[in-house]
Structure 1
Amino acid sequence: MRKVGLFALVLSGLLCGSGPAAAEDPLTRIAAAVERAYRPLLKEYDVPGLAVAVTRSGHSAVFTFGLADRERQRPVTRDTLFEIGSVSKTLTATLAAYAQALGRLSLADAPSRFLPPLRGSALDRVSLLDLGTYTAGGLPLQFPGGVTDAAAMIAYFREWRPSAPPGTQRLYSNPSLGLFGAATAAAMGGDFADLMETRLFPGLGLAHSFIRVPASEMERYAWGYGRNDRPIRVSRGVLDAEAYGVKSSAADMIRFVEAHLLDPGRLDPPLRRAVEGTGVGYSRTGEMVQALGWELLPYPLTLERLQAANADSVRFEAQPAARLDPPQAPKGATLFNKTGSTNGFGAYVAFVPAKRIGLVMLANRAFPIPARIAAAHAVLEALADEAP
């Protein structure tokens, strides 16, 4: 598959190609699959713009649709910055695995080892691994409304009482993953955003990924669109950077996916171990295995099974969890995936290392997750058909 920038160029090749060679071009078939899967979503869900990046056997392409800014009529490009929402958790997890590779922390540590104000609380009996896999024992999806600053956050965590023993129940939680990231930054002796922007992103080769979008990059930053259709961007919140604060481009995110698919020897050894470490499974909930950031499923799988693993009940309700002891690297072909949303943006990332295929979708509207899953599944099937 050749490297391609804008979807318009791919579509031009699709429409203007001639003869059997053009008809058999794998990129043409994949471009057609992306067009079929994603073009209808713009109208059906009034999505202003989106970018889809795919990779197959080390070759990537970025396809773009619509507008990053309706008022100024700015088109989406391969380098447009989108809020990736909870897909940020996979990068926070990579930073934690990097800290572990450097010997700065152990996943068995309690967060209070690095955050002294938490000592003497119920979190002394919770490990960083519990926080990173949402199995601390009932931390909620969001902080209560009164938790608006660091002092209130510490008070909340000190007063929190688990509803289940650590490791036995999975409840997806921004406070859980956020605290995981905060403890990681403390273990590394730095500010979380600084560590991400000056160490992790450059180490992974992500040139257009930020927690804090600098003035020089604001022209690339898309506007999101919420329920009232007014332009919106993410608001600051407690532990927002750690849980859902990354802004990135489709070109950068497919590079991040390729760090999991290709020979990671291009990375520094600790970062290589970190990327590999985020693919280790630590607990099982139904068919899904929870790794650090990523959610793992046996592959191949039907659309119905992929939808079930990303259903509202899995995201919003407490589910029984079985600790994997010892932790398990994927056995056989496995799909890694993660959804993400903010009030104005939606994202989905999925890849299959055994097939060396992957997909990133970034949009400036948080359209329904089932629609994201269905479109991605269709394109992944097309990529798998083309895989050698």
Structure 2
Amino acid sequence: MVAVAATKTIRSRRESYSGKRCHDEIRHEPQCWRGVAGFCISLLNNTRKRHFSVGQMTQGLIWEEYAMPVDLPTLQEGNAPKLILNPTPVSAKVPAATPESNVWVNKTGATNGFGAYVAFVPEERFGVVLLANKNYPNAERVEIAHKIYSNLAGRQ
């Protein structure tokens, strides 16, 4: 079973920058949304600073990024066990490069037989989360996400 999910609600008890209290679910009050969203975007961008490059991929603290447009074989190669499990020469980016928006950002993950894949393209405001109760190979997870993106973007 594979689940594809997205959410638009952020739960928080933080106060917004305007000083108004934001309750359990963020309401449609612009000042409340900007406060929490701005905080989350800032955190996310810090993890996306590019520290290393290998081939067409750049590596941040968590995320791998590929300049758009990126094809399926490039994504599969960058998420292949060969690259992940073996020592791979990299080029350091000193200082770390700031995040770009026209990139495919992704991360695979698996534990105890479960598999996941997260990918997003900030410039296109596209994102997909794949969760499976089986550890499918990375190549299959990447292919599913790339097909979803291609179909939604009209790039079949």
Q: Smaller-chain TM-score range?
A: 0.7 to 0.9
Is 2:2 the counterpart of 1:50?
A: yes
Is 2:151 the counterpart of 1:379?
A: no
Distance 2:39 2:127 in 1: 24
Distance 2:71 2:2 in 1: 25
TM-score, normalising length: structure 2: 0.76
Structure 2: gaps spanning 5 or more residues: 15-32
Distance 2:50 2:133 in 1: 31
Is 2:35 the counterpart of 1:276?
A: no
Is 2:96 the counterpart of 1:327?
A: yes
Q: Where is the helix percentage greater, Structure 1 or Structure 2? A: 1
Out of 109, 121, 144, the residue aligned to residue 352 of structure 1 is: 121
The structure with higher relative contact order (CA 8 Å, sep 6+) is 1
TM-score, normalising length: structure 1: 0.32
Aligned twin of 2:106: 337
Aligned twin of 2:84: 315
State the AA in 2 paired with 1:321.
V
Distance 1:303 1:203 in 2: 40
CA apart distance, 1:270: 5.1
| Pairing 1:176-215 to 2, within 5 Å after superposition | 202=12
Distance 1:54 1:299 in 2: 22
State the AA in 1 paired with 2:128.
L
Out of 43, 62, 65, the residue aligned to residue 293 of structure 1 is: 62
CA apart distance, 1:203: 7.1
Distance 2:148 2:13 in 1: 29
Distance 1:268 1:378 in 2: 28
Runs of 4 or more off by more than 3 Å in structure 1? 201-204, 268-272
CA apart distance, 1:269: 5.8
Alignment RMSD, CA only?
2.7
Structure 1: gaps spanning 5 or more residues: 1-48, 61-200, 205-263
Is 2:132 the counterpart of 1:363?
A: yes
Retained in 1: the 8 A contact 2:45–2:99?
Answer: no
Percent sequence identity is 35
CA apart distance, 1:265: 2.7
The structure number with the bigger radius of gyration is 1
